[in-house]
Structure 1
Amino acid sequence: MKLVTTPRVSFLRDLADEIAAHYGRGRMIVAIDGPLQSGKTQFADDLAAVLREREHAVFRASMERFHRSRAAQDAYGDDTPARYVGYGFDESALRRVLVEPFRMGGSTAFVTGVIDPARDAWVQPKWITGPSDAILILDGRFVLRKRLAGLWDFTIALDGEPADPADVLAYAERDPRLVASAVVDDSDPEHPRRRLRDVDDNAR
């Protein structure tokens, strides 16, 4: 479906073209990181819509659907920002039911979420399949952390200084803006713009 052209859509079309240039054929995963309440989910939804406009098969997932339950997090100690950064998300489930089967190119079904974060309750897995050529867009906090770095093909960091204590800890460990394929200033959602890293940034 053709989208109405706005400055935001035009920006996302340019970004989609850049992603497609890296994409070629097969399965590709785009990961979007950023501070708390930076608009990651909406940005991912809008990017997915533009990629679908380009007639790509696109699937969406969010780290919110891979939270550990509060009870499961309690096994890792007191409720602190450090515990949340280290153990707030079930990265094993993310790999096992989403990333690894998605990478198998259509021969295996995958799951885009294992928990309802609003109810803090596990959900019955919904296994889905797709064509061998497809793009998965995943948004969430900490997705550009070092231990997940090898999972993604193209990465986007939404610009913004971390304020939440968990974000401050995560950014001290690895600032997603210094490692992302693209850094986007989305503070004005109607007019997003690229933020170019300087040479020093690229060297880190």
Structure 2
Amino acid sequence: MNVQVTPISPERLADEVTGLVMSRAGRVRLAIDGPPAAGPQALADRVGARLRERGRAAVVVLAADFLRPASVRLEYGREDPDEFLDGWLDVGGLRREVLDPAAPEGSGRVLPRLWDATADRAYRDPYTTLPADGVVVLAGALLLNRGLPVDLTVHLHMTPAALARRTADEARWTLPAYARYEREHTPSETADLLVLTDHPDRPALRH
């Protein structure tokens, strides 16, 4: 199998992802998956802005705003990598409040934020209604192949060495979770678009 790698700027990457969304009619649920060091939120914000410029309503949703309460999330301690992968994200809440309503046959009524993990209480954000061609751009880590109903997926991949180099000391305990995620959930093999982000300011597409 021939693997091609095409260098691309962050701005061109946002254009590429936006083009994938624009090629689809109706509502679209896009997941941009990657560790914080790869910049999934920054890419999501760029894509959301471009979609709005092109006339598509877009809501950027951060997985970090859909974590489970601390009493559940931290049951096995604050630095358990297995729980970080398997138990931190409120998959049910994300489906119920965002992804199911944003489906083509859904109500379109989505909640941009659910849980403030820092304050450990619910946000009080109002719901927003997506039109028939609206887009949800979900950004965060460890999102793919875990039962989330999405229509397009982008995986921002970092090699273990680059991820370790770019992860802050206080978050290094998460590294085994990312290794297990790549091994068990295989996001690099299943994403619609695979982006190599060892140098986030100089990404590359892998075909």
Is the TM-score greater than 0.5?
A: yes
Query: Which residue of 1 is the match for residue 121 of structure 2?
Result: 121
Q: For residues 92 and 103 of structure 1, what CA distance do their matches in structure 2 show?
A: 15
Bigger shift: 96-105 or 36-45? 96-105
- Could you tell me which of 176, 192, 205 is aligned with 1:181? 192
2:183 corresponds to: 172
Q: 1:201 maps to what in 2?
A: none
Report the alpha carbon displacement of residue 54 of structure 1 after superposing the two structures with TM.
Answer: 1.8
Residue 28 of structure 1 corresponds to 28
Quote the Cα distance in structure 2 between the aligned partners of 1:70 and 1:165. 21
Matched residues in 1 for 2:151 and 2:13: separation? Answer: 20
State the distance in 2 between where 1:167 and 1:190 align. 21
The change in CA–CA distance for 1:38 and 1:191 in structure 2 (over 3 A counts) is closer
Partner in structure 1 of residue 21 of structure 2: 19
> Contact 2:32/2:140 (CA < 8 Å) preserved in 1?
yes
Q: Which residue of 1 aligns with 2:11?
A: 9
TM-score, with structure 1 as normaliser: 0.80
Structure-to-structure mapping, 1:31-110, within 5 angstroms = 31-75=31-75, 77-79=76-78, 80-103=80-103, 107-110=107-110
2:158 aligns with 160
Deviation at 1:41, TM superposition (A): 0.6
Aligned to 2:147: 147
Selected match of 2:204 from 169, 172, 193: 193
TM-score by length of 2: 0.79
Q: Distance in 2 between matches of 1:140 and 1:120?
A: 19
Matching residue's letter, 1:112: P
Distance in 1 (alpha carbons) for counterparts of 2:104 and 2:133: 11
Q: Percent identity?
A: 26
- How many residues are paired up? 186
CA RMSD of aligned residues (A): 2.3
